[in-house]
């Protein structure tokens, strides 16, 4: 299966991706993770990316699409399934992704469109904690680490993403509505949208999504 996980920040794309990776052996392509890796390198480009992410805006289509294109053309087993998380985020990216995938003969099967109410998203994002080392996701209320600040899986340091504060979250939501939501219509025209109610608990979301893999 080749799919896109679409939905506002905090809707649970990363959590669902972790599950789908295990259950269906799908490669997980998260542009947010790729950009954070670039920041870790401390390069000039990384610094530029950091200031964009911290503001809640989007990194340029050119840069993000180039990262994804490189991954698809040089670093992905196309015989296996894969899923995009946080990409595409604009209609331009969606059009370019279709072109890149057409070129390698691996078009998308469907798009999971996750949605949840704003107060649910806000709670998920402000409580979200991430392992710096392995990327595992936790939540201060719904999935706390066993030892404070320490990843249950690898012992790495668990931190709060600097863009998970209320002010940046507000900006990210606006960007989502303006730039990303129109993608739903783009894929609806291709008949590829599968709607998922992500107000539900993670386990229920998994059950709802499993239907699409039968």
Say whether residue 87 binds ligand AMP (CB under 6 A): yes
Do the strands 193-197 and 110-115 form a parallel or antiparallel pair, or are they unpaired?
parallel
Between 124 and 172, whose beta carbon lies closer to ligand AMP? 172
Residue among 7, 8, 9, 81 that touches ligand AMP (CB under 6 A): 9
Report, in Å, the least distance between residue 82 CB and ligand AMP: 15
Report, in Å, the least distance between residue 210 CB and ligand AMP: 23
Residue among 26, 81, 86, 111 that touches ligand AMP (CB under 6 A): 86
State the alpha helices, DSSP H only, in the chain. Answer: 13-24, 31-40, 44-55, 61-74, 91-103, 118-127, 166-175, 182-188, 202-210
Instruction: Based on the residue annotation, tell me whether 161 is a catalytic residue of this protein.
Output: yes
Catalytic residue among 2, 123, 161, 206: 161
**Closest alpha carbon to 140 in 116, 154, 124, 117:** 124
Distances (CA, A) of 181 to 71, 80, 174, 195, 196: 25, 28, 10, 13, 15
Instruction: Based on the residue annotation, tell me whether 132 is a catalytic residue of this protein.
Output: no
Say whether residue 31 binds ligand AMP (CB under 6 A): yes
For residues 102 and 111, give the distance between their C-alpha atoms in angstroms, rounded to a whole number.
Answer: 16
Instruction: Based on the residue annotation, tell me whether 124 is a catalytic residue of this protein.
Output: no
Residues that bind ligand AMP (CB under 6 A): 9, 31-32, 35, 52-53, 58-59, 64, 86-89, 93, 163, 172
């Amino acid at each position: 299966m080749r799919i896109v996980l679409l939905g506002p920040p905090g809707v649970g794309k990363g959590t669902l991706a972790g599950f789908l990776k295990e259950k269906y052996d799908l490669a997980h392509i998260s542009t947010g993770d790729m950009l954070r890796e670039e920041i870790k390198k401390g390069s000039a480009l990384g610094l530029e990316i950091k200031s964009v992410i911290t503001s809640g805006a989007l990194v340029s289509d050119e840069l993000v699409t180039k990262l994804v294109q490189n991954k698809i053309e040089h670093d992905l087993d196309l015989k296996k399934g894969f899923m995009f998380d946080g990409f595409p985020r604009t209609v331009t990216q969606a059009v370019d992704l279709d072109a890149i995938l057409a070129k390698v003969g691996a078009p998308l099967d469907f798009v999971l469109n996750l949605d949840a109410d704003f107060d649910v998203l806000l709670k998920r994002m402000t409580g979200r904690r991430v392992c710096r080392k392995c990327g595992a996701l936790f939540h201060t209320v719904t999935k706390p680490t066993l030892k404070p600040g320490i990843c249950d899986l690898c012992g790495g340091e668990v931190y709060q993403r600097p863009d998970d504060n209320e002010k940046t979250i507000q900006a990210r939501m606006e960007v989502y509505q303006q730039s990303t939501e129109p993608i739903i219509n783009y894929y609806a025209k291709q008949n590829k949208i599968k709607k998922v109610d992500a107000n539900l608990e993670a386990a229920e979301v998994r059950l709802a999504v499993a239907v699409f893999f039968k």
